[in-house]
Amino acid sequence: MPTIRRHVVPTTKVLRCSDVISRCPVVIEGQSEKDVLARGKDHVRVDHGMRIIPAPMLARLRGAIHDKKRPR
């Protein structure tokens, strides 16, 4: 019986800032949710002027991270 091999491609995670803060065009991509969240927090601090990010905003950022759709 032949062996079937699967090529596993890592899933890219995506955060569109506009899903959390309207009209922001920034899109953040990374290999893990942790990486994207860290970069998202940096973006919110620097570009949106939030020195302290409230827990509800962190929850919204975390909830907006999703897998990037692959072209077929």
Domain ranges for the chain: 13-67
Contacts of 62 (CB under 8 A, 6+ apart): 33, 37
What's the pTM?
Answer: 0.81
Strands 66-67 and 27-30: unpaired
pLDDT of residue 50: 96
Predicted confidence (pLDDT) per residue in 15-63, tens digit: 999 999 999 999 999 999 999 999 999 999 999 999 999 999 999 999 9
Contacts of 17 (CB under 8 A, 6+ apart): 24, 25, 26, 27, 28, 40, 43, 44
Please provide the distance, in angstroms rounded to a whole number, between the alpha carbons at the two ends of the chain.
30
pLDDT category, 6, cuts 50, 70, 90?
Answer: confident
CA Rg, the chain, in Å?
Answer: 16
